[in-house]
Chain A
C-alpha cells in the first residue's frame, strides 16, 4: 500500500515538473515566435534555393559522346555567339552547331543524314543521334516530363 502511494506521489511530482517545463517553453516560444519563424523560413529558403539553381543549371547542358565516350559538355544558356565544332573520326565527319539555347548537327557525311534532318534541339529536348558515326548529343537532364519514351 505504502509503495503504491509513494509512486503516486512521484508521478504527481513528475507531472508538475512536466507542466512547468511546458509552460516555460510556451512563454519562451511566445517571446521568440517572430525570430523563430524567420529562422525556419530562412533554412527552407536556402534549401529551395540550392535545389532550384541545381535543376536550373542542368536544363541546358548538353553532353557530346563519340563512340560511347564522353567528349565534352556545353552549357547552351551561356553560349553568346554561335559556333561550330567538327567531330572528325577518320573519314567520318559531323559538324555540330552550338547556339544560345539550341544545338544541331548542320553537316555530316553519314549515309542516312538522320542527325542533320532532326534539326535543332533545345530545352532538354530529344537527343541528337548519328548512329553510323556513333555520335550522341544529349541534354544532361532530359526534362521532367517523361522518364522514357516509346514510339
Chain B
C-alpha cells in the first residue's frame, strides 16, 4: 500500500518531466539556434538565427561583416573608403558594394534636399565627433569646409565601375553602412532558409519572421530623455533604426552640441525632434532616413513621409509627444510610466 502511494505521486512527476523534455527537445531537433557576438564596423554586433542551416548563415554573416568593415571603415587606413578619400581628384576603380552604397547615398542626398550627405565628414571631424576630444570650430573653419560637402559632385561611371571625388572631398558611409550590412545579411538568411532571426548592429535592428513561439518580436525604443523606454512595438521582417541628438553630444560654455550635423549649415541640426525611429523593409534606406528626418525636423519629416508612405516612423518631439504613422497604430504602445507626452497618429 505504501509503495502504491509513492508510485502514485512519482509517476505523474516523471510523466511531467518526460513531457517537458520532449517539448523542449522537439524545438531543437531540426531547427537549430545559433548566436554570435562580434566587434566590427565600430560597434558590437549580435546575431541570433534559427533554421536548419543557421550555423552556415551565421558564419557567412560574420565573413560579410568583416569584409564590409574592410571596405567602409574610415578609421582603418587600408580600407577602400580611406583609399578613395586619399586619392581624390582621380577616377578610381571601386567594388560593386561601394558603388551601390555611394550611388544610393548620392541619390538619397538629392532626394532629401541634402539633409543627409555622405560627404559631411570633414565637418563632423572639425567638431571632434570622430576624434577623441570635442570642440566648437570657428565660423570661418566651417565656411571653408562647406563647399566640399555636396554629394551631387560625386561622379560614378557604372560601365567601368569607377568613381570620381573632387579634390579634398571626404566620404563617410557611417550613416548607411550598417543598414547596407543588414540588407546583405537578409540575402544570406534567404539563401540559408533562416526562419527566424534577431540581428542587432549597435542599434540597427532587424527582426526576421516571428519568434520560435510564434509571437511577434517586441522591439523597445529608448527614452531620449534618460533611462528607460518610450514605447514598444510588435514587428516581423522589419529593419528598425533610431537617430537622436541624445546619443552623442558635448557641452561647451553652457551650450549643448549633438553629433548630427546639418550638412547644409555645418552646425548640429537645429531639430525640434529628440529622436526619429524608422521601421522599414530596407536596412540601408531606414538607416539613411533616420538621419535625414532628424535633420529635417518634425514638419518636414511628416511631409517627406506623406510623399512616399512606404516606411513607418516614430517621431519623439522635443516636448515629449510621440507621433507615429498610421500603420503602426495597434502595433506601437507607450510604456507605462512614460509621462513626458502623449501618443498621436500622423494622418
Contact = CB atoms under 8 A, between A and B. Distances in A.
A42 B229 contact: no
Nearest to B43: A131
A51 B20 CA distance: 8
B59 to A, nearest CB: 13
A148 B219 contact: yes
Given A68-B37, A150-B219, A150-B242, A43 B15 contact: yes
Choose among B13, B211, B224, B277 the residue with the greatest number of A CB atoms under 10 Å from its CB: B13
Contacts of A42: 9, 12-13, 16
B242 A151 contact: yes
A47 B219 contact: no
Interface residues of B, number: 42
Contacts of B57: none
B320 interface: no
A129 interface: yes
B244 A151 contact: yes
Contacts of A35: 8
Contacts of A39: 8, 11-12
* Main SS class of interface, A: mixed
A102 B27 CA distance: 32
B196 to A, nearest CB: 11
* Main SS class of interface, B: strand
Nearest to A45: B16
A47 B240 CA distance: 37
A67 B36 CA distance: 12
Interface in A121-143: 129, 131, 134, 136, 138
A67 B8 CA distance: 53
A90 interface: no
Interface residues of A, number: 28
Nearest to A112: B132
A1 interface: no
9 nearest A-B residue pairs (beta carbon): A151-B222, A46-B16, A146-B220, A42-B12, A150-B242, A43-B12, A43-B16, A149-B220, A148-B205
Contacts of B15: 43, 46
B123 interface: no
A142 B229 CA distance: 15
Contacts of A146: 218-220, 229, 232
Contact of A149 (B11, B43, B229): B229
A75 to B, nearest CB: 20
B73 interface: no
Contact of B16 (A47, A129, A147, A149): A47
A134 B42 CA distance: 11
Nearest to B290: A150
